[in-house]
Structure 1
Amino acid sequence: MIKKIVIALVFMASIGLSAQNGTVSPYSFFGIGDIRASGTIENQMMGGIGIYADSIHVNLQNPAAYGELGMDVLNKVGTVVYTAGMSRNNYRLKSYTEEESPSVTTLDYLSLGFSLGKGLGMGFGLMPYSSVGYNFLSEREVDGQTVTNNFNGDGGLNRVYYSIGYEIIKNLSVGATINFNYGTMNSERLQQMEDVQFGAFDRRTSKIHGFDFNYALNYTPKIKEGYTLRASVRVNTQGNLVSRNERKIGSFSNANGVNIEEVEVNLYAQNLANTELKIPTTTTIGLGYGKDLKWFLGAEYSFQGLSSFENSFMGVDNVVYEDASSIAVGGFYTPNYNSFNSYLSRVTYRAGLRLDKTGMVVNDVDINNFGITFGLGLPLGRSFSNLNVGFELGRRGTTRADLIEESYYKINLGLSLNDRWFRKRKVD
C-alpha cells in the first residue's frame, strides 16, 4: 500500500512541476531563468543555510546530512521521512512609471529520506531547478516612429535527484547527490511599429537536459556535553546541460493577431540547433554552533564562477555575467522539545537573512537580492512529524537604468512526516 501511495505522489508531483508557472519575475528573462531555492522550508527559514542536520528532517542541500537520519541523541530511530513543500510568492514590480502586484503559487519539492542503518542514509525526490515567467514591454523611437517590443516567456527546468550520506568515522560524514535536470524554456518577442499594418515575431524553444553532482563533507565534534560545532563544505559541480533548439520567425496582423507568415529558421546552418549550457561550479562553506535539541546559529558563504556562463541561443545584449556570491546567517530556538504541558514550548522558532550577489549585470547595473526569513516548526501531536510555516521578505533589482525593482513577500508551507506514519503495525 505504501509503495502505491509513493508512486501516486511522485506521479502527481511530476505532472504538477511540469505544468506550474514558477515565477512572474522579469529577471527570469536572463540565463536559464530564476534559480529556485534548493532547501526545505526548515532550511529556507534559517536564511537558506544547509549546515544543520538531525534525525527527523531531510536536508535537500547537504547530502552528508543523510548520515544523521535516525541518529539523534535520544536514539529515536526515524527510518523513513517524507517531506513536501509549497509556497506562494507575492510580488510588487516597480519601475519609474508603473507598478504591478502579481503572485504565483508553486510546489517546491517532494522527497523521501531513509535511514539504512547507523550512520547511513539515502533519499530521492523531485523539485524545480529554475523557472521562467515574464511579460514586459519595451518602447523606443526610430525615425520618429514608436517601436514596441513585447517580450514574454515561460517554462523552466525540473530536477530528479538521488542522495546518499555516510558517517565514515565518528563526527565526520560524507555525502553525494546526482541530479538529472530537464525541461523546456520558451521565449517570444513581438515587434510592432506605429501606423504599420503588420508586426513581426521571433519565437524560440529550448528543450534542455543534463546532469550535475553535489558533494558534501560535514564535521560535527562535541565541544562540550550537549553542545556541537558544525562545519561543512559543499561543492555543486558544473552542470553540463544539452539544449535542443528551435526558432520560428514571421509576421502577424496587428488588427487581429493572426499569423501572416511563419518560417522555421535553419539553426543547423548557424550551429545553434544543439548547444551546450555549462552552469559553473558552486562552492559553499558553513560554520555553526548550538546546544543539541535547543538552539543553533550558523553562517554560510557561497561562491560561483558565473562569469564563464553563456547561453548562445537565448542570449541577450544588455546582460553580462560576473562571479556570483551569497552570504547567509540563520538559526533556530526550541524552548523545550519534550514539554508535556506546553505546546508552544515544543514549537521550533526559526529566523535568518541572506544577501545574494546574483552575478547578473543588466544595463551596467548589478542585480542583487536581500531577504529576511522567519518561521515556525509546529509538532504534530507527540510524534516526530511536524508542520513548517515560513515567511520571507525580500527585494531584488532597482529602478535605475530602466530596470525593475522587485519586492516580494513569500509564504511557505512544508510537511515533514516521520516514520511513525509509515510503520507497519505488528499484532501478537
Structure 2
Amino acid sequence: MRKFILAALLLGSTLMVNAQSGTNSPYSQYGLGVLSEQTSGFNRGMNGVGLGFHEHNQINYLNPASYAAIDSMTFILDAGISGQVTNFNENGVKKNANNSNLEYVVAGFRLFRHLGMSFGIIPFTNVGYNYSTSGWVNKNDKDVTYTNSYEGEGGLHQVYVGAGWSPLKGLSVGANIGYIWGSIDRTVQNNYSNSYYKSLYRTYGTRVNNYKIDLGVQYTQKLSKKDEVTLGVTYSPGHNLHADADMSIISSNAQTSTSDTLAFSIKNAYELPTMYGAGLMWNHNNQWKIGVDYSLQKWGSLGYPTYEANSSEPWALRDGVYKDRSKVNVGFQYCYGERNRAFLKRVAYRAGVSFATPYYKVNGVDGPKELSVSAGFGIPIMNSYNNRSQLNISGQWVKNSATGLIKENIFRLNIGFTFNEDWFKKWKMQ
C-alpha cells in the first residue's frame, strides 16, 4: 500500500503538470485566469468552508494550523478529480462545454507530538477559452466583414510543504511554503474579407516561477461538555512574481504579401495580492459542525498589463483593471458517529453556499459575481484491511453573472479519495 501511495503522488504530480485546462470560460482571459478552488474533497461538500476546521482524518490546507490535529498513527493521502458541464448564455444564445480535471494530490501525517505535516500539489488558476466574433466593418456598407478570434490556455500550479504546531491546548499555528509555476498564453487575431485591410495577430505570454507563503492560526474554546467553537485566521503576504508580460503584434498585408512585427515587454508585470481570511466553526458532540468563512484578496492596488493602441505607451501597467475580491462561505457537516458500526451512521452529510465578488473589470465594468451551492457525502470505505479511508463525493452549482455580460451556469461533480493508512501504529505480539 505504501508503494501505491508514493506512486499516486508521483502520478498526480505528472498529471497536474501536463493537465489540460479545467475551464472553457471566456472570463479566464482576464487577470491570471479563473481562480481555482483551494479546497480538498471534504471542504467541497460544504462549498469551500474550512478556515476553522481541524480534522484528524482529513487534510485541510485552507488553514495550515489544522495539520496539528492529524492523527498520530496514520498517513493520509487525498486525491481529487472533477467533471463539469458549463452552460453559456448571451442575449438568448446558449452553448454548452464539458471539462474534467485532476484537482489536487496532497498527503499528511503526524511528524512529532503536537506537530503535523502536509505536502502536495494543487491548482492556483486556470486559463482556457476559444471563441470568435464577427460583423460588418461598416454597417452602411455591407461589403466587408471582420472576424475577431480569441484563444488562450495555461494556468498556474502550486506545490507546497507545510506544518502545523500546537504549543498550547486549544491553540495551533501553521505555515505553508509553496512554489508557484506555470505559463499563460493568449492570442487575438483580426481578419477581414477584403484584402485591402491589414490582418492583425497579437500574442500575449508570461512565465511564472516564484514562491507563495500562507500562514494560519486556530484557537478552540470549550463552551460546554459537548460544544466548542474554533476561530481560524489566515494571512498570505502579497509580492511581485517577477514574471514579464510579453506581447507581439504581427500585421499582414495580403496585397503585398508582407508582414511587420512589433515586440513589447513589461518587466515584473504580475503580482500576488495580499490575502486575509477568518472563519468560525461550531462543533457539537463531534456530530454537527457548522462553519462560516470570510476571505479578502487585495487585488485592487495592483497594476495590470494592458494594450491601448492609440496611447503613447501602448503596452503598459495600468490601474483600474483589478478590484478587491471578497468571498463568504457557509457550510455544515453532520455525522452521527464516525466509529459507529452501522454504515449509514458513519456517513458524513455535507452542504454549503457561497457568494464571491470578481477580482477584475471587463471594459471598465465589474466582472461576474459568483453564487455557488453544494451538497455531498463522506462515504466510509469499510473492509477487513482498512475502515478509516473515505470517499468524498459532492455536487456543485455555480452561477457567474453580470449585467450585459455572458452568464455562466456550471454543474460540477467532485470526487475525492482519502486513503488513511496505519503507517505508524505499533503492533503488539502476545
List gaps (5 residues or longer) in structure 1.
71-76, 255-259
Which digits, 9 at most, give the CA deviation of each residue in 1:130-169, with x for residues without a partner? 1100112234554444332111100000101111000010
The answer for the alignment partner of 1:94 in structure 2 is: 89
1:188 aligns with 2:187: yes
1:408 equivalent to 2:407? Answer: no
SS at match of 1:322: coil
Kindly tell me: are residues 288 and 10 of structure 1, through their superposed partners in 2, closer, same or farther at Cα, counting changes over 3 Å? closer
Taking structure 1 as reference, are residues 181 and 411 closer, same or farther at Cα in structure 2, changes over 3 Å only? same
Deviations 1:338-370 (CA, angstroms, capped at 9, x unpaired) = 322x31111000000000012323242442000
TM-score (norm 2): 0.88
Partner residue, 1:115: 110
SS of the residue corresponding to residue 14 of structure 1 reads: helix
Residues 161-180 of structure 1: pairs in structure 2 closer than 5 A = 161-180=160-179
Alignment partner, residue 100 of structure 2: 105
Query: How has the CA–CA distance of structure 1 residues 189 and 221 changed in structure 2, closer, same or farther, with 3 Å as cutoff?
Result: same
Check conservation: 1:79, 1:116, Cα contact below 8 A: no
The residue type paired with residue 208 of structure 1 is V
Find the partner of 1:300 among 288, 293, 303. Answer: 293
Q: Distance in 1 between matches of 2:179 and 2:258?
A: 38
Residue 216 of structure 1 is matched in structure 2 by 216
Separation in 2, partners of 1:262, 1:228? 70
Contact map agreement 2:269 2:317 (CA 8 A) in 1: no
Stretch moving more, 10-19 or 33-42: 10-19
Normalising by structure 1, report the TM-score: 0.88
Deviation at residue 297 of structure 1 after TM alignment: 0.6
Task: Name the structure 2 match of 1:85.
Answer: 80
Report the counterpart of residue 321 of structure 1 in structure 2.
322
In structure 2, the partner of 1:236 is 236
Residue 13 of structure 1: how far off its partner (Å):
2.0
The 1-side partners of 2:259 and 2:83 are apart by: 38
Amino acid at match of 2:17: S
Unpaired segments of 5 or more residues in structure 2?
308-315
CA distance in 1, matches of 2:429, 2:136: 80
RMSD: 2.6
Aligned twin of 1:207: 207
CA distance in 2, matches of 1:6, 1:85: 14
Structure-2 separation of matches of 1:261 and 1:220: 70
In structure 2, C-alpha distance between the alignment counterparts of 1:417 and 1:48, rounded to whole Å:
21
Q: Does the alignment pair 1:383 with 2:387?
A: yes
Shift of 1:278: 1.3
Query: Which AA in structure 1 matches 2:303?
Result: E
| Residue of structure 2 equivalent to 1:124 | 119
Change (3 A) 1:162 1:261: farther
CA displacement at 1:397 relative to structure 2: 2.1
Aligned counterpart, 2:57: 56
- CA separation of 1:97/1:253 partners in 2, compared to 1, >3 Å: closer, same or farther? farther
Q: CA deviation at 1:103?
A: 1.1
Distance 1:295 1:161, change over 3 A: same
Measured in 2, the distance between the counterparts of 1:108 and 1:288 equals 25
Distance 1:49 1:404 in 2: 28
Distance 1:317 1:123 in 2: 38
Q: Provide the residue aligned with 1:73 in structure 2.
A: none
The letter for the 2-side match of 1:86 is I
Of all paired residues, the percent bearing the same amino acid is 27
Tell me whether 29-38 or 196-205 shows the greater mean CA deviation.
196-205
Quote the Cα distance in structure 1 between the aligned partners of 2:399 and 2:320: 20
Kindly state the Cα deviation for residue 114 of structure 1 after the two structures are TM-superposed: 1.1
1:97-155 C-alpha deviation (Å, 9 max, x unpaired): 42111011001110110111331101110111111001122345544443321111000
The 3-state SS of whatever aligns with 2:60 is: coil
Partner of 1:21: 21
What secondary structure, in the 3-state scheme, does the structure 2 residue paired with 1:27 have?
helix
The Cα shift of 1:170 comes to: 0.5
Q: CA deviation at 1:250?
A: 2.7
- What is the deviation of 1:228? 1.6
Structure 1 window deviating more from structure 2 (77-86 vs 239-248): it is 239-248
Q: 1:118 to 1:91 in 2, by over 3 A?
A: same
Aligned residues: 409
* Residue pair 1:84, 1:108 contacting (<8 A) in 2 also: yes
Change (3 A) 1:301 1:85: same
Change (3 A) 1:23 1:101: same
Counterpart of 1:393? 397
The 8 Å contact of residues 13 and 105 in structure 2, kept in 1 or not, is answered as no
Residues 368 and 400 in structure 2, CA contact (< 8 A), matched pair in contact too: yes
Q: How does 1:335-346 map to 2 (within 5 A)?
A: 335-340=336-341, 342-346=342-346
Aligned to 1:312: 305
Q: Is the 8 A contact 1:395 1:406 kept in 2?
A: yes
Q: Using a 3 Å threshold, how does the CA distance of structure 1 residues 263 and 128 change in structure 2: closer, same or farther?
A: farther
- Could you say what secondary structure the match of 1:65 adopts? helix
Instruction: Give the Cα separation in 1 of the matches to 2:114 and 2:426.
Output: 23
* 1:252-275: CA deviation from partner (whole Å, max 9, x where unpaired): 799xxxxx76766443xxx52x32
Matched residue type, 1:162 = V
**How much does 1:247 deviate?**
3.6
In structure 2, the residue matched to 1:257 is none
Specify the code of the residue in structure 1 equivalent to 2:340: S
Can you list the C-alpha shifts for 1:272-323, whole angstroms capped at 9, x where unaligned? 2x32311211111111212243111110111122112333268899972222
Q: Distance in 2 between the 1:261 and 1:286 partners?
A: 60
Q: In 2, are the aligned partners of 1:56 and 1:78 still within 8 Å (CA)?
A: no
2:422 to 406, 410, 420: 420
Task: Give 1:25 deviation, angstroms.
Answer: 0.8
